[in-house]
Chain A
Amino acid sequence: MDFSIAAILAQDGITSGAVYALLALALVLVFSVTRVIFIPQGEFVAFGALTLAAIQSDKFPLSATLLVALGVLSFIQEAATVALGRSGETRKARKIGVALLKFVLLPLAVYAVTRWYGHATLAMPLQVLLALLIVVPMGPMIYRLAFQPLAEASTLVLLIVSVAVHYALIGIGLLMFGAEGSRTAPFSDARFDIGGLAVSGQSCVIIVVSLLLIAALYIYFERTLSGKALRATAVNRLGARLVGIGTGQAGRLAFTLAAALGALCGILIAPLTTVYYDSGFLIGLKGFVGAIIGGLGSYPIAAAGALLVGLLESYSSFWASAFKEVIVFTLIIPVLLWRSLTSKQVDEGDQ
């Protein structure tokens, strides 16, 4: 291996590492706020990529139909909860009105926009925006449908529900997008020559977008009220509720952000590789390895861990391609060992 090969591999590893880092951040966010290990994270990657691919190939993305269906189900659930609740009649009516707007009218509007404008002729940034509009609202809807009623359940129950949601979404994905994969048009065909190393515009886009998002997330958590509310919920649910932070709302927000990060990852990698309805799972799992390195609690370590996963994957694909996945996923074992040895917390329930 000479320097140029090492440099190309490093570039490749950093590009995939940046994508894993975004997913790792989303996983940490969802886990710390809701205690859900969000296995369906990967499905948003696939849905984002395939929705964009469908728009670009002038096919109607069936995910818009799914959005409406999920919305109607969420509305029914919300309306039932409100109707059985103990608030006054006028408040009930108002709450149901808001739910109708959020869960039914907005998805219908997105559906209509997709029907009329969702064609290959649309400008690229608008296509991306439309794909995000279709996929991102699914996050809070899935939270409403599957997780909110169980918000107080144990982590294990939430994990099992999470696995169930993952399988349901994979099945729906096959139905919507078919078994074959798709690619999307690249954002940039540019190639830069930096010291004899050809850097593709596409990987620059990925790295820059990831960095921007990480910075935006940092500002959001440090500077804004709702970001601080999320952090407070993550630190102490009961305490957060005592000071008037709605934990259900925090959960919805966390899922929205997770869906947005997932869909964006999908849109970023779709020009680099062929994405299938079930591609997301493995990509999400690698983000999960990164998040585990950070103990599902620390954002910077999770991001660094994800980068490590990307680099490890890239170099091991050169040295021992047949064992690539083995090497990447085996990384979890020494990390867990190290964490369990250095962790100060004693989990009494398990010992």
Chain B
Amino acid sequence: MKKAWLGTSVSAALAITLAAGSSSAYAQIKVGVSVSATGPAASLGIPEKNTFALLPKEIAGQKVQYIVLDDATDSTTAVKNARKLVSEEKVDLLIGSTAVPGSLAMSDVAAESGTPMISMAASASLVEPVDAKRRWIFKTPQNDSHMATAIIAHMADAGVKSVAFIGFSDAYGEGWYREFSKLAELRKIRIVANERFARNDTSVTGQVLKMVSANPDAVLIAGAGTPAALPQKTLKERGYKGKIYQTHGVANNDFLRVCGKDCEGTFLPAGPLLVAEQLPDSNPVKKSAMAYRTAYEKAYGAGSISTFGGHAWDAGMLLGAAAPQALKKGQPGSKEFRAALRDAIEDTKNLPVSQGIVNMSATDHVGFDQRSRVMVEIVNGKWKLIGAAQ
């Protein structure tokens, strides 16, 4: 099976190289991007879209062209975009999408056409386990389990014995509950309530009353962006005094603006980009995180940075590191180049990006270690680094 596939791919590659031979002098690296700049994931997609305008236009002497399309947080549109990018634009690399469903849908197109793809969505299921389809797929955000271990470790150190969980009533909340409950059991932390709320809810009083009546040592809120402020505000309103944990999904400045003083003392795990300027100079991530921050704030104003845009930047960094290797093996636009690019991304070693240090392998298409997360506390309406999580 594999041999047959190789055979066809080689002959196809030959045919394409022959056909493309005449125009190879004009070759440039084409990157096809599908982001969710509108729809429910827009608050993540917009900074990502902005970031593509900042990525280098030239890598190793080759021009790079980014074709950015919007998929409106709709997986059907994401697939349509991916097909268009692959068949009409003949892109060498796909980047996208912002949310998990769109990325999952795009990965079929990527694998089928033999185009490497870098997703900006968090779910580990996108890249694990690496099989015939997923060998083409990489992703830049940290795994949820990676962040959940940081929270559990912090809870265990702080002597938390019981936790109430409230999460989005969607894949994000469910995914977090799965990871978190698994880890909590190992560390003997009891989950005393498991509630759900929706992004557009006007009130979570019912859920909060139920959680408070279970009297937990801590509450974990698994929501993304500003909607995660609602349970926290209601908890404070109901006089809850325990610790409150949020997830890295809230790590943007709009969350601080909406949540205000009710968020004082909240703990959350986050990518180092969020507190880049507070990292010690010895931290290898500081330089690469600050580089992105400086570039973004120069273009869009101070304080405009969002960690989600970092995932787009990191996708660009992966390309920047891998493309010179791949260029030795083939011309952009050819099947050989795409395959070589995939191999080169998989070979990425010790690459500092805005969210950590990437060490990919044939079994790990994320490549992050514990340097890609820090624990942060909200103090005086600002993010404060409280030490690297184990």
**B-binding residues in A (CB < 8 A):** 5, 8-9, 12, 15-16, 19, 171, 174, 178-183, 200, 269, 272-274, 276, 278-279, 281-283, 313-319, 321-322, 324-325
Contact = CB atoms under 8 A, between A and B. Distances in A.
A325 B45 CA distance: 27
Interface stretch (B21-29, B141-149, B193-201): B193-201
B209 A274 contact: no
B224 to A, nearest CB: 12
Contact of A273 (B38, B40, B202): B202
Contacts of A178: 43, 46
Contact of A274 (B197, B207, B230): B230
B209 A321 contact: no
B200 A276 contact: yes
A12 B206 contact: yes
Interface in B225-278: 225-227, 229-230, 237, 252, 254, 258
Interface of B: 38, 40, 42-43, 45-46, 166, 169, 195-207, 209-210, 213, 225-227, 229-230, 237, 252, 254, 258
B258 A183 contact: yes
A181 B227 contact: yes
A180 B205 contact: no
Given A179-B46, A180-B254, A322-B169, A269 B205 contact: no
A7 to B, nearest CB: 11
A314 B206 contact: yes
A180 B225 contact: yes
A171 B38 contact: yes
Contacts of B199: 276
Pairs of residues from A and B, 6 with the lowest C-beta to C-beta distance, nearest first: A317-B206, A179-B42, A318-B206, A179-B43, A322-B196, A180-B254
Given A181-B226, A324-B169, 4 more contacts: A19-B202, A273-B203, A274-B258, A283-B202
Contacts of B195: 321-322
B258 A318 contact: no
A274 B199 CA distance: 9
A139 B209 CA distance: 39
A180 B196 contact: no
B43 A315 contact: no
Contacts of B258: 180-183, 274
B209 A9 contact: yes
Contacts of A282: 198, 200
Nearest to B166: A321
A316 B237 CA distance: 20
Nearest to A9: B206
Nearest to B201: A273
B203 A12 contact: yes
Contacts of B200: 276, 278-279, 281-283
B205 A274 contact: no
Nearest to A317: B206
Contacts of B198: 282, 324-325
B230 A315 contact: no
A19 B202 CA distance: 11
A318 B230 contact: no
Contacts of B252: 180
B206 A274 contact: no
B202 A5 contact: no
Contacts of A279: 200
Residue with the greatest number of chain A CB neighbours at <10 A, chosen from B43, B201, B213: B201
Contacts of B213: 5
A272 B202 contact: yes
Given A174-B38, A324-B198, A16 B169 contact: no
Contacts of A180: 43, 225-226, 252, 254, 258
B226 A274 contact: yes
Contacts of A269: 202
B265 to A, nearest CB: 20
Contacts of A318: 206-207, 209-210
A293 to B, nearest CB: 20
Nearest to B41: A179
A281 B166 CA distance: 24
B204 A278 contact: no
Contacts of B169: 321-322, 324-325
A273 B226 contact: no
Contact of A317 (B42, B45, B204, B225): B204
B197 A321 contact: yes
Interface centre among B202, B207, B225, B230 (most CB of A within 10 A): B202
17 contacts: A12-B205, A19-B202, A171-B38, A178-B46, A179-B42, A180-B226, A180-B254, A180-B258, A200-B237, A272-B203, A274-B230, A278-B200, A283-B202, A317-B197, A318-B207, A321-B197, A322-B169
Nearest to A318: B206
Contact of B206 (A19, A181, A273, A321): A321
A107 B321 CA distance: 54
A180 B206 CA distance: 25
Nearest to A42: B200
Contacts of A5: 209, 213
Contacts of A171: 38
A319 B194 CA distance: 11
Given A9-B206, A181-B258, A317-B206, A274 B38 contact: no
Nearest to B204: A317
Contacts of B227: 181, 274, 276
A16 B199 CA distance: 16
Contacts of A322: 169, 195-196
B207 A314 contact: no
B256 to A, nearest CB: 11
Given A180-B225, A182-B258, A317 B203 contact: yes
A316 B206 contact: yes
A9 B234 CA distance: 13
A321 B207 contact: yes
B199 to A, nearest CB: 8
B209 A8 contact: yes
A149 B202 CA distance: 36
Contact of B205 (A8, A181, A283): A8
Contacts of A181: 226-227, 254, 258
Contacts of A317: 197, 201, 203-207
A234 B342 CA distance: 66
Contacts of A276: 199-200, 226-227
A288 B252 CA distance: 34
A183 B261 CA distance: 13
Given A5-B209, A318-B210, A16 B203 contact: yes
A16 B209 contact: no
